[in-house]
Amino acid sequence: MMAAGILRFGSRFLAAILLAGCLAGEANAKPQRIVSLNLCTDQLVLMLAKAPNIAAVSYLSHDPVNSYMASVARDFPATYGRAEEILSLEPDLILAGRFTSQGSVAFLKRTGYRVVILDLPEDFPGIRAQIRHLAAVLEEEERGNALLSDMDRRLERAKLTASADQRTAAFYLPNGYTAGSETSVHSILTAAGFRNKVAELGVTGTVVLPMERLMVSNPEVLILSSFGDGGGSIAEEGLRHPAFARLMKGKTLIRIPTRLWVCPGPMLAEAVELLMEARP
C-alpha cells in the first residue's frame, strides 16, 4: 500500500516536471494559472488579475485582520506554500515575496516554473513601479493604470488638504516595534502631513525601540496598531501601564488597522486618508 502511494506521488511529480517544461516554452504567454505564495503578492494579484486567471493565493490572504483583500481572497483556494500542493495546481506563473521560503522557490525555479519575486517597496514611487511591473507581467496594464490613478488621486487630495502644522508622530506596535525612515510607514506618515519622530531620532527601517526612549522623544501623536487588532495580547500590556498613561496625557492616540499598512500597496493611500481624518 505504501509503495503504491509513493508510486502515485512519483507519477504526479513526474507529470508536474513535464508540465513545467511545457510551460517554460510559453513563458511569454498571458498567465492563466497564477499562484501567489506571499501575503503581499496576494494583495496585488487579487487587485490586478482577472478571477479566472488566479489558481490560488496564500492562506494568509484569508485573514481579515492582516489581509486588505480578505473578502475577495476567500473565493480562491489557499496554499501553504508546500511544493507538492503548488505542483498540483499546475501554475503557469508563481508569485513570491523576497522572504518566501527560499527552498520552495529555488526548487520551483529549478523545475522550470516561471517564478516572479517581488520586493517590499519603501515608498509610493516604489509602489507605483511595482504595480506597473506586475501589471505588465500579468498583461493587465489597463487594470494597473486604474489602480494607480485611484491611489494617486487619494494622495493628491491628501496633499492639497494637509495642514501646514506638521505634528510629530510615532508608529508603535506590540513588543516595541516601530518604523523610522526608509519604510512604507514613514511614507504614510509624511503623506498625511506628519513628521516621523522615530526617523528624527536617526532610526532607519523597522526596529524595536524601548517605550521609554520613544516617550522621552515626546511625539505629539502616537499611532497604534496590533497584529490582532483586538488589543488583548500580552505584547500590548505595556500600552496599559500607568507610566505610559501619564506620559501620553494630553497627546493624541490613533489606531490604524493592520491590513492598511502591513503590505506596501495602493491600500497605503487609504491609511493616509484615515490618519488625516483622525489627526487633531
In this predicted model, which residue has the larger pLDDT, 227 or 219? 219
Report whether pLDDT(165) > 60: yes
Pairwise CA distance, residues 122 & 137, whole Å = 21
Q: Does domain 165-278 sit in CATH 3.40.50.1470? A: no
Q: What average pLDDT does range 164-173 have in this prediction?
A: 88
Give residue-wise pLDDT tens across range 114-161.
999 999 999 999 999 999 999 999 999 999 999 999 999 999 999 888
> What global pTM score does this model have?
0.84
Q: At a CB cut-off of 8 Å and minimum separation 6, what does 140 contact?
A: 48, 49, 50
Domain 10-119 in this protein, CATH class? alpha beta
Pairwise CA distance, residues 169 & 186, whole Å = 10
- Ranges for all domains in the chain classified under CATH 3.40.50.1980: 10-119, 165-278
Give residue-wise pLDDT tens across range 192-209.
999 999 999 999 999 998
Give residue-wise pLDDT tens across range 224-238.
886 554 444 544 566
* 116, containing H or E segment: strand 115-118
Pairwise CA distance, residues 185 & 206, whole Å = 9
pLDDT of residue 27: 53
In this predicted model, which residue has the larger pLDDT, 246 or 15? 246
Give residue-wise pLDDT tens across range 59-88.
999 999 999 999 999 999 999 988 889 999
Q: Output phi, psi for 171, to 5 deg.
A: -95, 130
